[in-house]
Chain A
Amino acid sequence: MSSLEGKVALVTGAGSIRGIGRAVAQRLAREGADVVVVDKEMAPKSIWPGEENWRGLEAVVEEIEAAGRKGLAIVADVSNSKDVDNIVAKTLAKFGKIDILVHCAAIRGPVGSTVVELDEEIWRRVIDVNLTGSFLISKAVARTMIANPEGKKIVIIASVAGTFGAPGSSSYCASKYGVIGLTKTLALELAPYKINVNAINPDTINTNLVDERIAAAAKAQGISVAEFLKKRAEQPQAGPRIPLGRLGEPREVADLVYFLVSDQSSYITGETINIDGGAH
């Protein structure tokens, strides 16, 4: 097993209890890295029963420390360039470098609004966070990597919605297509420095990204979220759409991230890898 001892990792979107970012931060710390965790709020809310008191980034940093590594929490919005500068400055001040960027921050936006009904402001917000946010953070981090590029890695979480149309989710879909284009271009531009840049396309993973959708569905059925979740847990979760018959877990995305930031994938760059239980 290769180790990330001595490496500094920056993980955005790491504050949600069921998030991919948290699972990634935990895994990288377990493999030996110091980890800076970023989210827009200190403690993003979860709708799941028993998770009301989730302490967010603070709790993730404690998990990193429990793994024997150093952690740092930064509250920032990746779609704001001043916030992005602040993330990088604080990271360099504390750790002196960034070896690994895993960019997970994203919002889902509306799920059932067709293009002809979609509000411009909502469209702009989703594109701004998901796409321009990816640009700003990866640009700022890449700049710090170029001077001493050895072993540097960038992984950006896109989505399978970056590879086909998603009726009712045009802004999410377009933003994730854009993220893939950005990633592939960045990979080509950083290849001369031997910096690997790859994207991961998850299908539905058991995260808080679908919380809003669950809340809306519970409301539509006139039951509480807790009742809805209980009902949902008793049913087969994925239906026939996902060949492996279940939703993915954040831990499984973290496994793939770890492969892509280790020395085991040095000849893979500019690639998008689906993690979707065979759905696409």
Chain B
Amino acid sequence: MNSLKGKVCLVTGAGSIRGMGHAISVRFAREGASVVVVDKEMAPKSIWPGEENWRGLEAVVEEIKAAGGEGLAVVGDISNSQDVDNIVAKTLDRFGKIDIFVQCVGIRGPMATPIVELDEKVWRRVIDVNLTGSFLIGKAVARTMIANPEGKKMVFISSLAGSRGYAGSAAYCASKHGVIGLAKTLALELAPYKINVNIISPGAFETNLRDEAIAERAKAEGITVAELLKKQAEGPRTGPQIPLGRMGRTEDIANLVMFLATDQSSYITGEEIIISGGAE
């Protein structure tokens, strides 16, 4: 398993224990790559019992090393252009190039607030992180790729919410629609260099993305988070809306990212691939 030997990968949003970025980073390392992992905090919290002491990027770097790769942790906010410059500078300083870029940073924002009630500040924050963050980091990384574009690949994680409306989730939904527009445009602009840019739109996955919403619901029901999670695990987990009958797992995403990061997908660019167990 060294199909990415010699490659340098940059994965943003890689610090959460249950996150896609975490799974992708470890997969890349297993395939022989060096991996730079980025998150806004060194150790994003998880509400799940037993995960209180998660050490975040530090732990991910250790997993990367254990898989035989080289790792580097950078704490940075991709919605801040100085932080973005710092992420790129540190990566180039250590590894000299970026071959594969995967943008996983995303915040969920409110899940049940109708537009007529949605606070402007909350809206701005979600758009800023998910959409402007994708622009800033995508732009900065693309600039480093153009001079020597061979085999360079970019993947943006969007969402099913990038192609349909979700009542109560306007900010998330609009930001993810925007990410698709951005990535498709970038794909056209980088096609002359033969740099592939693609989008993955996941359906419902078992990650930390909804931790905040779960914590709020537990509070509303007057039970602890642990109790709510237990209740959810015992109930029907997915509802009828996922034809394959289960939520996605982060390794499902890592498998698809891997396909898009290799020479197996060289004629695919500007494409949005939905991975949702058949849910639309």
Contact = CB atoms under 8 A, between A and B. Distances in A.
Instruction: Specify whether A and B are partners.
Output: yes
A266 B256 CA distance: 10
Interface string B246-280: 00110010011011000011111111011111101
B66 interface: no
A265 B255 contact: yes
Contact of A267 (B248, B271, B280): B248
Given A256-B265, A268-B273, A273-B273, A187 B243 contact: yes
Given A188-B243, A268-B256, A273-B273, A245 B192 contact: yes
Given A243-B269, A255-B265, A275-B268, A270 B191 contact: no
Interface residues of B, number: 32
B258 A264 contact: yes
Contacts of A191: 243-245, 277-278
Given A188-B243, A191-B278, A273-B273, A265 B187 contact: no
Contacts of B256: 264-265, 268
B267 A276 contact: yes
A131 B136 CA distance: 45
B253 to A, nearest CB: 8
Contacts of A278: 187-188, 191, 269-271
Contacts of A115: none
Contact of A277 (B248, B264, B269, B276): B269
A280 B269 CA distance: 9
Contact of A270 (B3, B194, B243, B273): B243
Interface string A222-258: 0000000000000000000001110011001101101
Interface string B217-249: 000000000000000000000000001110011
A252 B245 contact: no
B278 A273 contact: no
Chain A interface size, under 10 / 10 to 19 / 20 to 34 / 35 or more: 20 to 34
Contacts of B273: 268, 271, 273
Contacts of A269: 243-244, 277-278
B266 to A, nearest CB: 6
Nearest to B268: A275
Nearest to A187: B278
A245 B266 CA distance: 12
B236 to A, nearest CB: 14
A259 B256 CA distance: 9
A272 B269 CA distance: 14
A243 B258 CA distance: 23
Nearest to A205: B267
B277 A267 contact: yes
A187 B248 CA distance: 17
A266 B252 contact: yes
Nearest to A254: B264
A269 B192 CA distance: 31
Nearest to B263: A255
Contact of A243 (B191, B275, B277): B191
A273 B245 CA distance: 22
B275 A267 contact: yes
Contacts of A255: 264-266
A264 B191 CA distance: 26
6 contacts: A249-B267, A253-B267, A255-B265, A256-B268, A269-B277, A271-B275
Interface of A: 1, 187-188, 191-192, 194, 243-245, 248-249, 252-253, 255-256, 258-259, 264-271, 273-278, 280
Interface of B: 1, 3, 187-188, 191-192, 194, 243-245, 248-249, 252, 255-256, 258-259, 264-271, 273-278, 280
Given A243-B187, A269-B243, A276-B268, 15 more contacts: A1-B3, A243-B191, A243-B269, A245-B192, A255-B264, A256-B268, A258-B264, A259-B264, A266-B252, A267-B252, A271-B273, A273-B271, A275-B267, A277-B191, A278-B271
Q: Which 7 A-B pairs have the closest CB atoms?
A: A243-B191, A191-B243, A267-B252, A264-B255, A278-B269, A278-B270, A252-B267
